[in-house]
């Protein structure tokens, strides 16, 4: 089996499925913190998707996007925690 | 003719804005930086205008990329005239602001944003690139948004939310239009669009896309039924700011509409009918809105809407006569509306209020100033031979030529209401004796020194004199207007100038 | 110790510059080479100078331990996640800290958090206790002991 | 929010982020990136610092209120945009130093322009965030 | 000739600038200007005998075809002499009358401005300048009527009169422009010469109506007559000058001017006849129910104006001749009566006829002028008025048609009332036993106040006795410019035409009128009748209706609810876009042009869809923000999938920062409250879905078109070679389209500054701006 | 050879992510969900990024991949700690089968200070931290 | 996939407009953001879509060879994104001011009837 095809028809669908599962949690909640970690996981999985995508199209340019994603996943979670805490103080 | 001169007014404004940022919080210096800076820009604008008058259309390719690959700046008669008017208005308001804007606001960036706004306006008039125009529009929106909220009063906040929500919607429509146009034409340079769009195979799509520009520019220029933001917000900021808004903001919409429909799209068929119909509604709602208003600023806001109808109808007819009238009216309106709001500022200083119920006796107390105001008012009404009168001749003639009788009715009705409300103002604010006993009403004008008073009155007088010039030497303005109108009907000059073809 | 590490880096860069090959293996090789040379040079000297050379192997063993723990526990959790029944006995446990330096606490808590089943909730303000959420809390004391002898000991060894 | 762990983590995260932001800035002309994203990343670094400590401490760390970066950024961009005017070229024309410089590549007005954007974005982002945080207390 | 017009304006400017420094005593010097003007125009009398009209053109704005083209013909001369002549007298009169008024100089400024405007109007041969002066008369009269502006009534009258005449002026403006547009020239002579073009135009009736409205409002014709009595709030000299002798005749002048063009078209004649007829009767009837001297005079003026319009409507040569005489007759006696009223008012501070009687002993000379004026108004022989009345009866009688006899009867009836009213105004205050007020008021000399009425009365007698003077000076020239019938032009006015039916009618008028005057009960308060005939109430009602409906419409449209504004805007956009799409687009799907489906992309798309739905339906703000940011992130993933790394990077960061900002602000806000009912939601949903669908359809339509991307190719080629960058997007941002970026960062800066000022600066409500 | 390694690594990585997703989908309380996802996701993404390292083998790409891995490893635990803390603060319920909660009552709601309970002196002093 | 993207565009525009028509200012802002996303996606689509070919010149070449994704819409969207960020940031701060003023984000609470308290 060709690597590209394998990635496209096995790995990416797995990741897409994971995204959807996570996404359902995002929608369901029930608490805001649940949504926050779901969002975090979506972003982290997004890095995976992007990495796979780079391999598929043999272009490493998108890895930078992954770097940004890693960064903002952290920022986002941090910000949410900060304000959730502040709110309940 | 390649000319860096074109961007001088633009960069000048930007430079002033940056310098004022450096002097953050030092209100005394800021006022004079703005004053002299505006004068400098005005001189540049005059030079630019005369250069264009002598040499024809001037073009500058930003970053030295030939069109359609780079952003082109084009100064033809229309744009250089608009820049000149902007600079005049800017200069006059700068004078006014020396006394007319409180130290608090000055210390919190008023001047920076003010000059950024002027820069935005100048840029919008000069640019020859559609997306660049969008950027200018955004500069205008954000700076006017900030100016509107500057001070943070409740009324200001309320007004600015309506202002910005509707204007953001307009931006989105505009951007959508740009995207769609790029999708079919693959270019953004207005001159290039002017060449390519008429050659596109699917002209139906082009018509549809042009609708987006009508809606977007319609919102900007406050035509019915897109005008709501204007009367909701223009009475809230300080008078100097309202003066700038009243004078120029809606006119950018008109300008852009004229540009797009002269160069890229065509104003004909049902679209033209719709635009004319809207213009009539605009005149009516503006006039009806103005009738009952007691607050002068609210009243003038509605009058802005009303008079936008005059111009939009002219655009709708899109004949030489109609365009001449429209442009003449545009020129007149910029100066006069600015002056009206400056006048409200002075009235507010004199009485502590701009509500007619609280005003009175101004004719007796300030006969000379009242005389100046009266001339401005009658120019607005269009009492011949003052400036508002002349363009109506062309607009009416065009209406009869095109058998747009409904437009003629609207024009006459709106003119009448304008007359009516203005004489009512005269009776209530100038003739009547003051009866209000509100103790909040203080006269902050009387206590000022002569020099301070001069800063407030001089800009009004300058603008009045300009208006009088428009009136008594209407032919000069008429000739400029008709030259511009000719350039709109025949776009080859513009295209040739941008692409550097020799005529 | 810092001086030696910097020296090692310098040697590495010289090596890379000399060979003119800019790739990982060359950097890595240069580092190893420098390490070896330095190691030779400090042989027989005082404890202070030898510290650096004890650290590096310990760091590597710590890393391997961490990866081992992480993989092991991941499989454990995976099993629990995939199978329909829950085998979990979760709880939040107070873990008395031995390490007292901010960096050490950070390292320790990161390690604990990254190995499945456990999660740092917070550090007490006086740096004396770590609150850990554990998915499979069979025996609290056993769990504390595991960490004490696992991660915390290694960290103390590595940093002291 | 007082978290010892976060506070410690920012010690090593901030330098990493700043380094990364400069990297993104410099390579923008060749690979995805540029002054804008670079500036945003740099500001994220400082935002993190402010989360972990406090806005006041971050401003102390920066030595000036980030607001002052706005005119600086504007001036840098403005100057690199109008510099060609003095050479009789149209505004914004790219001016390039002939020899490429290692790591950065070609040095030209475009790079300075991007640098201005970078500075400005830091200034604006931090100004906005810090002003709001301060006024929320 | 331009100077003659400008002289008044110059005087006015002079007074505005320097007047307040002068002593009120010197105001009489201003009269030099009108007197010299009178002399100036008088010298044209012989000249006009030689040529039909004297043209003089002054270039003003040739490119717009707007110049000061003056055309002095007999009609113009008549009006010029009237304006400057009566003007001179008024100037003299007012100098004394207004001497105690602190605003006397301003009064003169407006008065001379008005005089110039009138002169300019009657001399203009260009519709634009004609309109210019026309409006100027309205404006200056506005200021004159509102002279006593502390008085609310006075202000109201000024407003009403400018309102009516201003509106009429605008309508006239439309008519003039329309005519000019059809003919292609602003020249009045040209328009008259080519009037067939207008007559054959489909909108001829409308154009004429516009013209009529302009004339009728100015000349106080039914139903616009009501403003005139109100205008009598003005100082009496103003009433005498503007509202009897000159300004109100502007409309008459206009009709007269265009009479050669439109005379003998049924619409013209019938309308003028009927409106003139109604007005003359109405004015006459109301006038007898009045007991305020000025009101009586005002209504008789309305009636007289009705006579004039009626005569123009009659349109025959004799009628025009009668008109020429009657204009002067009326000006002379009406001005006299007004001035007398002014003197009475000045002396006794009342104008109520019930309170005035027996003044003759105090003011014998005034009594004499009063009698002369009243007799002239009554058409008693040996006064000028007799000639006028005869001419009018003659012109109608000469028609020899049944309708003309009916009208003649009505005319006689009206004249009887007029006679009665004139006697009441001109004689009754002087006769009888002195009333209480008169007795209590000490006798004082009227001095220069008497000059004007006496001169006018004298002229009434002189012209009455020796009509040839009038003929030679004015009438001949007038006739030469208005009619072509040489016989009529050459026939002379005579005191005695022999005993004919016209004389009988005159006698009936005099006898019946005098009888009513003598036997009618006096001192009856008939105020009740006023309201019934006052169309002013209709207009005031219309005005209130306009204001109220304006209020309703404005509040309906401008209701303060942003969402309703946006809804309106959206619905409008939908309507216009929908029509355009319906008209111009056919949807067809061409799958060969589209790229293939990918499962993971579809998965991301599904996430977008669900997140959007969550965003709009959740009640938790934070959830809304989170799911909105998911939308953004997913779109970023699309940017990654479709080759836009820069875009993805930027949007990822910006979205996150936006979320952080939202959090900063939102974290304390409670959940969303359900603020809309189901119906509203469904309505909004329908509107918004349609909006989205339209955009989608248009996008689809565009995708089916070829996409020219020459510019992108150019960028691809030049990016590295010319601009030294390999990331084309970045090169576009900093080089190809660097200007966008330069100002994009300005937007950011402004936002930054704005945030600071918004959060740190709060100006108090009471603080100055 | 490289291809197969890439396949293996990416498979492991994606499965780990899948486990994280399933975990977050079906774990009974927030803390358990968090516990599962933080590491599984980090592990999974790490493996996938290693796969890209193997695939490209270029120094610039590898640096970036490794940098991302490093960054994730550095930040994930911190982030998890922050959100867990926030959740606890905001009163997110523990699963009802949770055995013990030793943190209960240790937070000072006003200042957000967490006591250790080890040293009662400090507790009595009510020492406040630097703000 | 173009059809899916058009579906998304339509959805974003619809939901954006729907949110604009709400009373809550937060929703209004969300509406503007959704509309912004829709517009960006639309512009992107208007440059037509290409997978895996970013407009970046490879290291070993000096010109961009086809196929490549149209860089112009990308640059436009970038500019637009940044601009809307500025506007949104300011709007969000305004939201805060509104909340301070009327203690809710219901825009109807902020309405003052015309001409009342007008000085
Ligand atoms: Na763990
Ligand atoms: Na694309």
Three-class secondary structure of residue B157 per DSSP: helix
pLDDT at E534: 63
The average pLDDT across E320-331 equals 88
Contact between residue B245 and residue B237 where contact means Cβ atoms under 8 Å apart: yes
> Which pLDDT tens digit goes with each residue over G84-113?
999 999 999 998 888 888 888 888 888 876
- For F121, counting Cβ atoms within 10 Å of its Cβ (0-12 exposed, 13-18 middle, 19+ buried), the class is exposed
User: B186 pLDDT exceeds 60?
Assistant: yes
Compute the average pLDDT of residues B253-276: 93
Task: Check whether E744 has a pLDDT greater than 80.
Answer: yes
- HEC profile for E310-327? HHHHHCCHHHHHHHHHHH
Cα E726 to ligand 2 centroid, rounded to whole Å: 18
For residues B149 and B157, what is the distance between their CA atoms, to the nearest angstrom? 6
Distance B68 CA to ligand 2 centre (A): 20
Average pLDDT rounded to a whole number, residues B255-277: 93
| Cα G54 to ligand 2 centroid, rounded to whole Å | 9
Residue G74: give its domain's CATH number.
1.10.287.3510
Give B148's pLDDT tier (boundaries 50, 70, 90): very high
* Structure tokens belonging to residue G74: 């990308």
pLDDT for E488-504, tens place per residue?
777 777 766 677 777 88
| C134 alpha carbon – ligand 1 mean position (Å) | 7
Q: Give domain status of residue G91, yes or no.
A: yes
DSSP for residue B427? I
Q: Kindly report which listed range (D36-45, E141-150, E468-477) carries the lowest average pLDDT score.
A: E468-477
Chain B nearest CA to E590, separation (Å): 16
Question: How does residue B502 score in pLDDT terms, banded at 50, 70 and 90?
Answer: low
Residue B408 near residue B400 (C-beta atoms within 8 A): yes
pLDDT band at F125 (very low <50, low <70, confident <90, very high): very low
Structural domain containing residue G11: 2-55+68-110
**pLDDT > 90 in chain B, percent:** 78
Q: Are E748 and D124 in contact (CB under 8 A)?
A: yes
Check pLDDT > 60 for residue E170. yes
Confidence of residue B145 (pLDDT cuts 50, 70, 90): very high
Q: Is the pLDDT of residue E293 over 50?
A: yes
> Is G63 a member of any domain?
no
Query: F128 falls in which pLDDT band (50, 70, 90)?
Result: very low
Burial class (CB in 10 A: 0-12, 13-18, 19+), B215: buried
Give the mean pLDDT of chain B. 92
G118 lies in a domain? Answer: no
pLDDT of residue C47: 55
What is the distance between the alpha carbons of residues B166 and G51, in angstroms, rounded to a whole number?
Answer: 36
Q: Predicted confidence band at B503 (pLDDT cuts at 50, 70, 90)?
A: very low
pLDDT of residue E523: 57
Which residues make beta-bridge pairs with E546? none
To probe the interface with G, which of D47, D100, D124 has the most G CB atoms within 10 Å? D124
Q: Is some CB atom of chain G closer than 8 A to the CB atom of E577?
A: no
- Residue B71 — pLDDT band, cuts 50, 70, 90? very high
The answer to whether position G48 is within a domain reads: yes
Question: Could you report the per-residue pLDDT of E677-687, keeping only the tens digit for each?
Answer: 899 999 999 99
How confident is the model at residue E130, as a pLDDT? 92
Report CA(C132)–ligand 1 centroid distance (Å): 9
Residue B475 token pair: 């032919």
The answer to whether residue G117 sits within a structural domain is: no
CB C88 within 8 A of CB C138: no
Contact between D8 and C120 using a beta-carbon 8 Å cutoff: no
The better pLDDT of the pair F123, E649 is held by: E649
**What is the per-residue pLDDT for E568?**
93
What mean pLDDT do residues E669-682 have? 83
Does E653 lie at the interface with A, CB-CB under 8 angstroms? yes
Q: Do E744 and B135 touch (CB under 8 A)?
A: yes
Chain E residues with CB under 8 Å of a chain D CB are: 645-646, 649-650, 653-654, 657, 660-661, 664-665, 723-727, 729-731, 733-735, 738-739, 741-742, 745-746, 748-749, 751-753, 755-756, 759-760
The domains of chain D are located at: 4-135
CA distance E129 to B390: 11
User: What are the DSSP calls for B93-108, one per residue?
Assistant: HHHHHHHHS-HHHHHT
Give the total number of structural domains in chain G: 1
Strand E53-61 and strand C129-134: the pairing is unpaired
Residue G41 domain-assigned (yes or no): yes
Q: Pick the residue with more confidence: F78 or E245?
A: F78
Task: Give residue F119's pLDDT.
Answer: 58
Give CA angle at A23 (A22, A27), nearest 5°. Answer: 120
| Rounded CA separation B264/B267 (Å) | 10
F105: Cα separation from own chain's centroid: 24
Contact G20, B169 (CB under 8 A): yes
Give the tens place of pLDDT for each residue, E266-289.
999 999 999 999 998 888 888 877
Question: Quick one: which of E275, E172, E173, E289 has its CA closest to E224?
Answer: E275
What tokens were used for E301? 């003026």
Among residues E231, E32, E29, E271, which one has the least CA distance to residue E137?
A: E231
Residue-wise over F24-39: b if at least 16 C-beta within 10 A, else e? bbbbebbbbbbbbbbb
Mean pLDDT of chain E: 85
Closest-CA residue of D relative to E643 is D32
pLDDT value of position F109: 66
Q: Is the pLDDT of residue E752 over 80?
A: yes
Which tokens is B463 given? 């603008």
Instruction: Say how far apart CA E282 and CA E299 lie, in whole Å.
Output: 8
Nearest residue of C to residue D7 by CA position?
A: C102
pLDDT of residue E528: 45
Which chain D residues are within 8 Å of C123, Cβ to Cβ? 3-5
Handedness of CA F4, F9, F12, F18 (dihedral sign): negative
Domain architecture of chain C: domains with CATH? 2-41 (no CATH), 85-159 (3.30.70)
Helical H runs in E500-598? 501-519, 527-533, 535-557, 562-584
Mutate to test the interface with B, among D87, D90, D95 (most CBs of B within 10 A): D90
Check whether E525 has a pLDDT greater than 70. Answer: no
Mean pLDDT of chain F: 80
Distance of CA E567 to the CA centre of its chain: 37
The predicted model gives E704-732 an average pLDDT of 89
Percent of chain E having pLDDT more than 70?
Answer: 97
Name the band, by pLDDT with cuts 50, 70 and 90, for residue C20.
Answer: low
Residues written for chain E: 769
A16: contact with D, CB 8 A cutoff: no
């Amino acid at each position: 089996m060709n690597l590209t095809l394998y990635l496209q028809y096995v790995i990416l669908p797995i990741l897409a499925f994971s995204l959807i599962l996570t996404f359902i949690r995002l929608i369901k909640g029930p608490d805001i913190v649940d949504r926050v970690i779901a969002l975090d996981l979506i972003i982290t999985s997004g890095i995976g998707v992007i990495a796979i995508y780079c391999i598929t199209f043999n272009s490493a340019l998108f890895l930078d996007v992954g770097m940004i994603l890693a960064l903002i996943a952290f920022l986002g979670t941090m910000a949410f925690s900060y304000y959730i805490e502040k709110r309940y103080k | 003719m390649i000319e860096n001169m074109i961007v001088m007014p633009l960069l000048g404004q930007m430079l002033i804005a940056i310098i004022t940022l450096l002097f953050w919080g030092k209100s005394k210096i800021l006022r004079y930086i703005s004053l002299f800076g505006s004068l400098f820009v005005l001189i540049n604008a005059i030079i630019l205008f005369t250069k264009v008058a002598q040499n024809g259309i001037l073009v500058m390719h930003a970053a030295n990329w030939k069109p359609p690959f780079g952003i082109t700046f084009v100064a033809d008669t229309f744009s250089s005239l608009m820049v000149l008017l902007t600079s005049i208005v800017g200069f006059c308001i700068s004078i006014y602001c020396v006394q007319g804007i409180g130290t608090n606001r000055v210390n919190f960036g008023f001047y920076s944003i003010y000059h950024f706004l002027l820069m935005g306006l100048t840029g919008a008039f000069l640019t020859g690139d559609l997306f660049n125009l969008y950027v200018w529009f955004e500069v205008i929106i954000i700076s006017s948004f900030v100016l509107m909220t500057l001070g943070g009063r409740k009324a200001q906040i309320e007004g600015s939310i309506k202002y910005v929500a509707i204007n953001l919607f307009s931006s989105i429509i505009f951007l959508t239009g740009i995207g769609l146009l790029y999708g079919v034409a693959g270019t953004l340079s207005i001159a290039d669009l002017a060449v390519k769009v008429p050659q596109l195979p699917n002209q139906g799509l082009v018509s549809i896309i042009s609708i987006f520009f009508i809606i977007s520019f319609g919102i900007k220029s406050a035509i019915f039924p897109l005008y709501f933001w204007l009367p909701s917000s223009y009475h809230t900021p300080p008078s100097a700011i309202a003066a700038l808004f009243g004078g120029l903001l809606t006119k950018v919409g008109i300008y852009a509409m004229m540009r797009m429909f002269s160069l890229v799209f065509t104003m004909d068929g049902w679209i033209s009918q719709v635009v004319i119909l809207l213009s009539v509604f605009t005149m009516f709602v503006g006039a009806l809105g103005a009738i009952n208003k007691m607050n002068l600023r609210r009243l003038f806001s509605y009058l802005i809407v009303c008079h936008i109808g005059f111009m939009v109808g002219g655009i709708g007819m899109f004949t030489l006569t109609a365009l001449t009238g429209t442009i003449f009216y545009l020129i007149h309106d910029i100066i006069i509306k600015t002056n009206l709001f400056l006048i409200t500022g002075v009235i507010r200083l004199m009485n502590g209020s701009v509500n007619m119920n609280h005003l009175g006796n101004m004719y007796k107390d300030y006969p000379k100033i009242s005389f100046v105001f009266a001339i401005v008012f009658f120019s607005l009404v269009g009492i011949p031979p003052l400036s508002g009168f002349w363009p109506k001749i062309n607009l009416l003639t065009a209406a009869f030529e095109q058998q747009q009788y409904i437009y003629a009715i609207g024009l006459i009705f709106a003119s009448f209401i304008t007359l009516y409300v203005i004489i009512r103002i005269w009776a209530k604010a100038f003739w009547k004796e003051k009866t209000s006993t509100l103790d909040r009403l203080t006269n902050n004008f009387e206590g000022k020194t002569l020099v301070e008073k001069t800063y407030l009155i001089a800009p009004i007088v300058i603008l009045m004199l300009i208006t009088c010039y428009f009136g008594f030497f209407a032919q000069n303005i008429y000739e400029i207007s008709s030259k511009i109108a000719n350039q709109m009907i025949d776009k080859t000059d513009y295209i040739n100038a941008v692409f550097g073809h020799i005529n | 110790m810092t001086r030696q590490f910097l020296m090692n880096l310098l040697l590495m860069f010289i090596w890379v510059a000399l060979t003119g090959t800019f790739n990982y293996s060359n950097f890595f090789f240069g580092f190893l080479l420098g390490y070896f040379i330095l190691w030779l040079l400090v042989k027989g000297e005082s404890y202070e100078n030898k510290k650096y050379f004890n650290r590096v192997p310990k760091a590597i063993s710590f890393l391997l331990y961490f990866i081992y723990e992480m993989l092991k526990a991941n499989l454990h959790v995976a099993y629990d996640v995939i199978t329909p029944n829950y085998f979990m006995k979760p709880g939040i446990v107070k873990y008395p800290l031995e390490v007292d330096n901010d960096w050490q606490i950070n390292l320790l808590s990161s390690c604990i958090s990254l190995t499945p089943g456990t999660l740092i909730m917070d550090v007490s303000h006086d740096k004396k206790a770590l609150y850990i959420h554990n998915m499979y809390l069979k025996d609290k004391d056993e769990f504390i002991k595991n960490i004490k002898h696992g991660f915390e000991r290694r960290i103390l060894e590595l940093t002291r | 929010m007082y978290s010892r762990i976060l506070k410690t983590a920012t010690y090593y995260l901030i330098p990493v982020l700043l380094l990364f932001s400069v990297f993104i800035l410099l390579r923008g002309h060749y690979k995805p990136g540029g002054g804008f994203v670079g500036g945003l990343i740099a500001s994220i670094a400082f935002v993190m610092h402010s989360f972990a400590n406090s806005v006041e401490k971050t401003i102390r760390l920066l030595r000036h209120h980030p607001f002052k970066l706005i005119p600086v950024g504007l001036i840098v961009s403005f100057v690199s945009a109008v510099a060609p005017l003095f050479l009789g070229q149209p505004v914004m024309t790219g001016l390039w130093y002939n020899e490429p410089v290692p790591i950065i590549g070609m040095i030209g007005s475009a790079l300075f322009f991007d640098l201005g954007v970078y500075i400005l974005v830091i200034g604006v982002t931090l100004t906005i965030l810090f002003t709001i945080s301060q006024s929320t207390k | 000739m331009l100077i003659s017009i400008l002289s008044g304006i110059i005087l006015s400017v002079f007074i505005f600038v320097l007047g307040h420094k002068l002593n009120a005593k010197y105001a009489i010097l201003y009269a030099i200007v009108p007197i010299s003007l009178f002399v100036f125009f008088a010298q044209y009398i012989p000249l006009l005998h030689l040529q039909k009209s004297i043209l003089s053109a002054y270039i003003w704005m040739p490119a717009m075809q707007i110049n000061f083209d003056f055309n002095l013909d007999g009609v113009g001369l008549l009006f010029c002499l009237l304006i400057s002549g009566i003007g001179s007298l008024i100037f003299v009169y007012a100098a004394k009358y207004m001497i105690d008024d602190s605003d006397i100089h301003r009064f003169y400024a407006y008065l001379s401005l008005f005089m110039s405007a009138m002169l300019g109007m009657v001399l203009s041969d260009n519709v634009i300048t004609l309109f210019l002066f026309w409006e100027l008369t309205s404006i200056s009269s506005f200021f004159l009527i509102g002279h006593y502006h502390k008085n609310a009534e006075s202000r109201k009258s000024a407003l009403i009169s400018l309102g009516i005449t201003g509106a009429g002026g605008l309508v006239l403006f439309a008519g003039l422009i329309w005519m000019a547009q059809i003919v292609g020239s602003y020249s009045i002579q040209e328009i008259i010469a080519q009037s067939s073009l207008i007559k054959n135009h489909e909108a001829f009736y409308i154009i004429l109506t516009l013209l009529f409205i302009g004339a009728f409002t100015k000349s106080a014709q039914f139903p616009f007559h009501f403003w005139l009595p109100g205008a009598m709030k003005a100082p009496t000299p103003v009433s005498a000058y503007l509202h009897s002798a000159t300004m109100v005749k502007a409309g008459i002048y206009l009709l007269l001017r265009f009479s050669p063009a439109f005379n003998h078209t049924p619409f013209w004649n019938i309308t003028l006849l009927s409106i003139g007829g109604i007005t003359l009767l109405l004015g006459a009837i109301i006038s007898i129910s009045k007991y305020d001297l000025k009101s009586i005079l005002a209504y008789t003026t309305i009636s007289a104006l009705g006579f004039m319009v009626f005569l123009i409507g009659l349109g025959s040569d004799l009628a025009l001749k009668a008109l020429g005489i009657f204009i002067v007759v009326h000006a002379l006696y009406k001005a006299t009566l007004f001035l007398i009223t002014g003197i009475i008012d000045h002396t006794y501070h009342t104008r109520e006829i019930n309170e005035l009687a027996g003044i003759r002993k105090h003011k014998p000379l005034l009594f004499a002028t009063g009698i002369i004026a009243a007799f002239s108004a009554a058409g008693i022989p040996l006064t000028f008025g007799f000639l006028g009345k005869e001419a009018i009866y003659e012109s109608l009688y000469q028609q020899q048609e049944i309708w003309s006899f009916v009208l003649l009867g009505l005319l006689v009836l009206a004249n009887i009332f007029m006679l009665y009213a004139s006697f009441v105004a001109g004689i009754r205050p002087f006769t009888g036993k002195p009333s209480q007020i008169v007795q209590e008021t000490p006798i004082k000399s009227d001095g220069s106040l008497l000059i004007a009425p006496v001169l006018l009365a004298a002229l009434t007698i002189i012209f009455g006795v020796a009509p040839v003077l009038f003929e030679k000076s004015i009438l001949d020239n007038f006739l030469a410019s208005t009619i072509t019938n040489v016989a009529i032009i050459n026939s002379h006015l005579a005191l005695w035409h022999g005993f004919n039916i016209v004389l009988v009618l005159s006698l009936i008028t005099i006898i019946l009128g005098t009888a009513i005057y003598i036997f009618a009960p006096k001192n009856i308060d008939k105020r009740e009748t006023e309201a019934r005939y006052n169309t002013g109430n209709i207009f005031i009602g219309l005005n209130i209706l306009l204001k109220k409906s304006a209020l309703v419409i404005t509040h309906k449209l401008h209701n303060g609810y942003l969402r309703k504004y946006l809804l309106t805007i959206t619905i409008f956009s939908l309507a216009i876009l929908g029509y355009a799409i319906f008209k111009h687009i056919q949807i067809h799907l061409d799958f060969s042009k589209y790229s293939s489906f990918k499962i993971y992309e579809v998965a991301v798309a599904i996430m977008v869809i669900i997140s959007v739905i969550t965003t709009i339906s959740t009640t938790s703000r934070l959830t809304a923000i989170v799911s909105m940011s998911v939308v953004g992130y997913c779109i970023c993933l699309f940017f990654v999938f479709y080759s836009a790394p820069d875009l993805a990077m930027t949007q990822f960061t910006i979205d996150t920062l936006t979320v952080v900002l939202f959090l900063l602000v939102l974290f304390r806000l409670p959940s969303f409250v359900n603020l809309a009912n189901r119906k509203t939601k469904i309505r909004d949903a329908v509107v918004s879905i349609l909006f989205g669908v339209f955009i989608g359809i248009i996008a689809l339509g565009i995708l089916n078109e070829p996409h020219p991307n020459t510019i992108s190719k150019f960028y691809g080629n030049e990016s590295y070679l010319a601009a030294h960058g390999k990331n084309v997007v970045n090169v576009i941002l900093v080089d190809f389209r660097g200007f966008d970026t330069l100002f994009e960062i300005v937007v950011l800066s402004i936002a930054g500054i704005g945030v600071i000022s918004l959060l740190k600066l709060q100006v108090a409500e009471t603080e100055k701006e | 050879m490289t291809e197969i390694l890439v396949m293996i690594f990416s498979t492991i990585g994606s499965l780990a992510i899948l486990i994280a997703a399933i975990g977050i989908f079906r774990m009974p309380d927030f803390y358990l969900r968090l516990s599962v996802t933080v590491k599984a996701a980090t592990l999974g993404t790490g493996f996938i990024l290693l796969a890209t390292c193997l695939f490209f083998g270029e120094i610039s790409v590898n640096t970036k991949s490794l940098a991302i891995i490093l960054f994730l490893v550095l930040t994930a635990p911190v982030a998890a700690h922050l959100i867990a803390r926030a959740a606890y603060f905001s009163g997110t319920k523990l699963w009802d089968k949770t055995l013990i909660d030793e943190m209960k009552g240790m937070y000072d709601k006003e200042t957000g200070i967490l006591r250790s309970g080890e040293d009662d002196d400090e507790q009595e002093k009510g020492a406040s931290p630097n703000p | 996939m173009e059809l899916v993207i058009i579906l998304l565009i339509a959805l974003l525009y619809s939901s954006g407009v729907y949110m604009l028509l709400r009373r809550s200012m937060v929703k209004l802002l969300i509406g503007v953001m959704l509309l912004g996303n829709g517009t960006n996606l639309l512009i992107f689509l208007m440059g037509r879509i290409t997978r895996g070919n970013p407009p970046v010149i490879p290291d070993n070449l000096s010109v961009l060879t086809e196929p490549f994704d149209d860089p112009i819409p990308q640059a436009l969207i970038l500019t637009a994104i940044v601009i809307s960020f500025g506007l949104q940031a300011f709007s969000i701060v305004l939201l805060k001011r509104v909340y301070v003023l009327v203690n809710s984000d219901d825009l109807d609470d902020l309405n003052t009837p015309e001409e009342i308290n007008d000085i």
